[in-house]
Amino acid sequence: MSITELAAQERTAAGHFDFSRAEWAALRQSTPMTLTAEELTDLQGLNEALSVEEIEEVYLPLSRLLNLYVVATQGLHHVANDFLGREPVKSPYVIGIAGSVAVGKSTTARVLRALLSRWENHLQVALVTTDGFLYPNAVLRERNLMDRKGFPESYDVRRLIRFLDEITSGHSDVEVPKYSHLVYDVLPDVERISTPDILIVEGLNVLQSWTGRTEDAPSRFVADFLDFTIYLDADHDLIRQWYVDRFLTLRRTAFRDPASYFHKYSRLSLREARKTALDIWDRINSPNLAHNIAPTRSRAHLVLQKGPDHRVDRVRLRKL
Ligand SMILES: Nc1ncnc2c1ncn2[C@@H]1O[C@H](COP(=O)(O)OP(=O)(O)O)[C@@H](O)[C@H]1O
Ligand SMILES: CC(C)(COP(=O)(O)O)[C@@H](O)C(=O)NCCC(=O)O
């Protein structure tokens, strides 16, 4: 056995495959995909900092793997229904994306939605973010939780589980609450969706089993409804930097809107704005990452490990 083979065997021994970026990117080669240059540019439009190389080397192989899993799972449902002699009920393949605030969950979710819906089987992909299931600010204030937004106890987990139960049972017009980062609160209006082929659920808490409040404890966990889970990981100092960078961008853009909850921050000097962002990070998002989010990483089927500039440099895939 060659040294490379031995090293590869050792890396897979712990119940998962561990790929370098080059190894992961090579998985795409065996099954080439046809995306036009125009489609690639379109995808890049989702986030101008996202490189075409990143889409090709990381997200295309991932969408290929997910597409195979979706098709195989649909096949399993089909044979199970045949066995039971039941009419098939449409049920989505549910993908969960977890990770810290500012690690890139929304961007990854949007890229995957775009890629998965481009496969030749024309899958219909819906995207739901768990921030809509946060308690409204009025409730958070009453419970003294305004500085705990994103912590387990700040979410109405029962409502999230009810939503997942309905959508995976094939109900139509299922209510999805919406969160606005502009007003920093849950909106009074809801969106309604009907069973898609794939549902992507993105949020800090999708791999958590603890609600933080005994009285809110549901009898099922969010993870019970997820077919495949992805954890986005990076060095915590890098994530803090991405949080601050996003805050500084928002200070020049969205915070300028007088309707923005953070409008007052648009008038801060660069130095003051940086200080404010670091303060929010240190008081709220960093402890939440350390205590409630990072410990859920080992539950994920796939971990994307990012380095500087959001470049994925390692991929860990759990063996089936
Ligand atoms: N793959 C990527 N390449 C470049 N920039 C990215 C990438 N993913 C996220 N970002 C940037 O990082 C910041 C956080 O990303 P976002 O998707 O909003 O994170 P989250 O949903 O986890 O809070 C944003 O400024 C976003 O533009
Ligand atoms: C709404 C959130 C809990 C969830 O963030 P997401 O990762 O879904 O963008 C987070 O953006 C947040 O508001 N955290 C509280 C501290 C802060 O204002 O950053």
Residue 179: its H or E element: strand 174-180
What percent of the chain lies above the pLDDT cut of 70?
A: 91
Name the more confident of 123 and 196. 196
Q: Are 197 and 92 in contact (CB under 8 A)?
A: yes
Complex ipTM: 0.95
Q: Kindly report the backbone phi and psi dihedral angles of residue 228, in degrees, each rounded to the nearest multiple of 5, phi listed first.
A: -145, 135
Residue with tokens 């990483």: 297
> Is 40's pLDDT higher than 80?
no
- Which position has the higher pLDDT, 31 or 309? 309
pLDDT at 295: 96
Q: What is the pLDDT of residue 26?
A: 87
More confident residue, 4 or 76: 76
How far is 55 from 61, CA to CA, in rounded Å? Answer: 9
Res 226: pLDDT: 97
The preferred substitution site among 101, 231, 261 for testing ligand 2, maximizing ligand atoms within 8 Å of CB, is 101
Nearest atom within ligand 1 for CA of residue 202: 21
Which residues 6+ apart lie within 8 Å of 151 measured at CB? 145, 212, 288, 292
Q: Which residues contact 52 (CB under 8 A, 6 or more apart)?
A: 40, 41, 44
Q: What is the mean pLDDT of residues 246-267?
A: 92
Q: What mean pLDDT do residues 89-98 have? A: 93
Which numbered atom of ligand 2 lies nearest the CA of 130?
Answer: 8
For the chain, domains (ranges, CATH) are 89-318 (3.40.50.300)
Task: Return the amino acid letter for 266.
Answer: S
Cα-Cα-Cα-Cα dihedral sign, residues 133, 134, 136, 140: positive
Q: What is the pLDDT of residues 173-184, one digit of tens each?
A: 999 999 999 999
Split at pLDDT 50, 70, 90, the class of 117 is confident
Instruction: Report the pLDDT value the prediction gives residue 50, as an integer from 0 to 100.
Output: 85
CA distance linking residue 79 with residue 290, whole number of Å: 43
Residue 170 assigned ligand-binding role? no
Counting ligands in written order, which one lies closest to the CA of residue 307? 1
pLDDT at residue 8 tops 60:
no
- Selection from 223, 230, 228 nearest residue 71 by Cα: 228
